[in-house]
Amino acid sequence: MDPKGITEMLLIFLEERGSAVHIPSSFDSSKDNTNRLIPFVGKWKGHSITKRSGVYGATIAEADTIIVLEIDDEDQLIKDITSVSSGGDVITNVQWTGTLSNNLIKFNGGFQVTLLPGGMYMGCPSYIAKHVAASNPFHLEFCWLESPRKRQRLVRTYDIEGLVVSSTYFYETKL
């Protein structure tokens, strides 16, 4: 990101096992940006593993997740996230509302998602420079489709000094 917090460059390495190199047809950047959103719309069920680091020792936490992304009658995006800890003792539910403009989703509350070609997206605070300047914690998210019905996400949380506090890996299946 540049000093103003605007995404300037994102490097993505496409890797395959085996001798054949396969670049997904959805990596064609000339496609309509709305079509980049469609693969992510719907209900996703999955599991997450969070690894935390810190001065008091590292911890690992697991949870089951349900994420629903819908487009309402007014073309607003509604994202509903529910997470249940592996012990079932902690249930978290968060709902975001946002709008799509070109390849950018801006959610109320200051989070944005850039839809990338190839069934990927990158999420970050809308004003990340302000978060860093104000010494506020923040998180970054990267998601990629493994297939039309399976995706993986990685969320990294940073503390007020910009150090990684936790990494959460999600593996989700579309219902």
Residue that the structure tokens 């990629």 belong to:
144
In the chain, % helix, strand, coil (3-state, to 5) comes to: 10, 50, 40
Give the total residue count for the chain: 175
Rounded CA-CA distance 3/131 in Å is 12
Say if CB 66 and CB 43 are below 8 A apart: yes
Say if CB 77 and CB 98 are below 8 A apart: yes
Residue that the structure tokens 């994202």 belong to:
79
Pairing of strands 120-125, 59-71: unpaired
Of the CA atoms within 13 Å of residue 42, those in its CB half-sphere come to 14
- Per-residue confidence of the chain (175 residues) as pLDDT tens digits? 665 656 666 666 666 666 655 555 445 454 555 689 999 999 999 999 999 987 667 899 999 999 999 999 998 999 999 999 998 888 999 999 999 998 999 999 889 999 998 899 999 888 777 766 777 888 899 999 999 999 999 999 988 777 889 999 999 999 9
All domains in the chain, ordered by first residue: 38-174 (2.40.128.20)
Instruction: Please give the angle made by the CA atoms of 126, 15 and 9, to the nearest 5 degrees.
Output: 30
